[in-house]
Chain A
Amino acid sequence: MNDDLRDLYQEIIVDHSKRPRNFHALEQGRSVEGFNPLCGDRLTLYVDLETGIVKDVAFEGSGCAISTASASVMTEAIKGRPIDDVRALFRRFHALVTTGEDPGDGEDLGKLAAFGGVCEFPSRVKCATLAWHTLEAALAGNVEKVSTE
């Protein structure tokens, strides 16, 4: 297989796309829909916030492997963390998928680092960031639909 493809579809990504974690609705908290009209990726993100902390997060929907895996890994990465940390994490993730570089100098990005291959596929950046943009809207209290277009 082509090296770029192997970097894009890493085992973690394929695994999370086939068996997404936190893939269910939440009864508590708020929900925001994210939509990528270009490819039909569609997800509903549920976020339960408590005193500045993401107490619980989950999602439902259907999308390509990149967007599903990204949403799945994101929920694992942000659960239980302060909102400020989560926003900083999005900035690092966004830089990673657009440039391939992690500008952060602190902690390891963990499973999020698996998305470093996306930068070689500019048309797929929107897939990788759909869940994060939807999350940003949820954190801002914006319950409108989020669209990548």
Chain B
Amino acid sequence: MNTATTATRIEMLAPGEERRSSTFDVEAVRADFPALAQQVHGHPLAYLDNAASSQKPIQVIDAIAHFDAHDYANVHRGVHALSQRATDAFEGAREKVRGFLNAEQAKEIVFVRGTTEAINLVAHGYGRSRVQFGDEVIVSAMEHHSNIVPWQLLCQERGATLRVLPMNERGEVRLEELEGMLGPRTRLVAVVHVSNALGTVNPVADIVRIAHAHGVPVLLDGAQAVAHGPVDVRALDCDFYAFSGHKLFGPSGIGALYGKAEWLKSMAPYQGGGEMIAAVTFEKSFYKDIPYRFEAGTPNITGAVGLGAAIDYMAGLDFAAVAAHEDDLLRYATERVGAIEKVRLIGTASEKISVLSFVVEGIRSHDIGTILDRCGVAVRVGHHCAQPVMQFYRVPATARASFAFYNTRAEVDALVDALHEAIEVFR
């Protein structure tokens, strides 16, 4: 998450010239991602929609196929060999997630469908037992809908208040206001680690420290953060951390919630069913210990294995080199796209990562998206499930290019050329 490199390097390289790094070979990495090597509408694909979902390396695709072909069975139930192998692979994946987040114990990792389910799980299990009439939950002004709506539902049900930590015009939270918002009725602070719409990297360690000084736990939405390097939940000291596999070069339909053991143990079950119980009678059920208490029903077994493979893949990367490469891409894209007449960049935080959101005067983002697509450039257009952010900037929608470590300066150039094409259409 280091965003500090020199801006001068941009002027030293001509468009299309790839930055050479002694430790990061982007072409070698690209060779691992079969989806990247294709033509779209007669152009080489420039996949710049990684904040929506990332592509999978062949190692993940192979791990999934191998597991399904050889080891697949239900987990935690059977006495037969395949069930044992599947259980080992599934629990092995949990251990990989633990290592990736540097959590203390594997039982602090709950497998879920994704970030959205993780947040809903906390809103249900933590929120419904601790948030009462008159209490308050704090979110930031740049949250994804998935970190707004579960809290809104909870607050409506309980007669609690959802409060919003504001941000400035650059898209940075006004950290200095947090202190004054925290009070005896504050039950939770839920904040995004990296904004999906703006790319802002929030000062989450500071947020946790300030909230904890008031005895308030903190949930971090890590959906956009994890693709850029491992996260240390113990160093951050956050109480909950949520992320999705499909933004981490793994499969969709699988994600993880980290929760400190003492919180998870105190929380009511989220869904009832098989797998999560120790004993059931018609009078009463006894629940398993964490994390199984929160994993009712047969889980996404293959998805967990795929997520584990994605984490293994990440572990093989040099993160200092990845950060430098991604930072170079963002700076280069900011410079080149920002220089286009009529372009307004949305989100210019000083701590920013891999997202370039923008509007073009006189052209709606959906027209931009369509024209870019025909030039082989995949971006997201729309409100990015962050309508309050759009309202803040008084725009109906933006176009968003979002980068992963496998993207190149040549793809940024393709984006810039396609934007000129769009402007030409509407000249």
Contacts and interface: CB of A to CB of B under 8 A. Distances in A.
A66 B381 CA distance: 15
A2 B363 contact: no
B418 to A, nearest CB: 10
A14 B397 contact: no
Interface in B366-420: 366-367, 370-371, 374-375, 381-383, 390, 396-397
B383 A1 contact: no
Contacts of B390: 40
Contact of B364 (A1, A5, A38, A39): A39
Contact of A18 (B366, B381, B426): B426
A116 to B, nearest CB: 16
A42 B365 CA distance: 14
Interface in B336-368: 362-367
Nearest to B41: A2
A133 to B, nearest CB: 17
A36 B367 CA distance: 14
Chain B binding surface, main DSSP class: mixed
B425 interface: yes
B366 A1 contact: no
A138 interface: no
B312 interface: no
Given A18-B426, A65-B367, A124-B366, A4 B396 contact: no
A125 B364 CA distance: 16
A34 interface: no
B135 interface: no
Contacts of B367: 9, 64-66
Contacts of A66: 366-367
A4 B365 contact: no
Given A4-B374, A121-B370, A124-B370, A39 B365 contact: yes
Contacts, number: 55
A28 interface: no
Nearest to A8: B370
Contacts of A148: none
A113 B424 CA distance: 23
Given A14-B425, A40-B396, A40-B397, A5 B374 contact: yes
Interface string A84-106: 00000000000000000000000
Contacts of B371: 5, 9
Interface of A: 1-2, 4-5, 8-9, 14, 17-18, 38-42, 62-66, 121, 123-124, 127
- A-B pairs, top 8 by smallest CB distance, nearest first, are A40-B396, A64-B364, A64-B366, A39-B366, A2-B374, A65-B367, A40-B397, A9-B425
Interface of B: 41-42, 362-367, 370-371, 374-375, 381-383, 390, 396-397, 421, 424-426
15 contacts: A2-B41, A4-B41, A4-B374, A5-B370, A5-B425, A9-B367, A9-B371, A9-B426, A17-B426, A38-B382, A39-B364, A63-B364, A65-B363, A66-B367, A124-B370
Given A1-B421, A39-B381, A65-B363, 13 more contacts: A1-B425, A4-B41, A4-B374, A5-B374, A8-B370, A14-B425, A39-B364, A40-B383, A40-B397, A62-B396, A65-B364, A65-B426, A124-B370
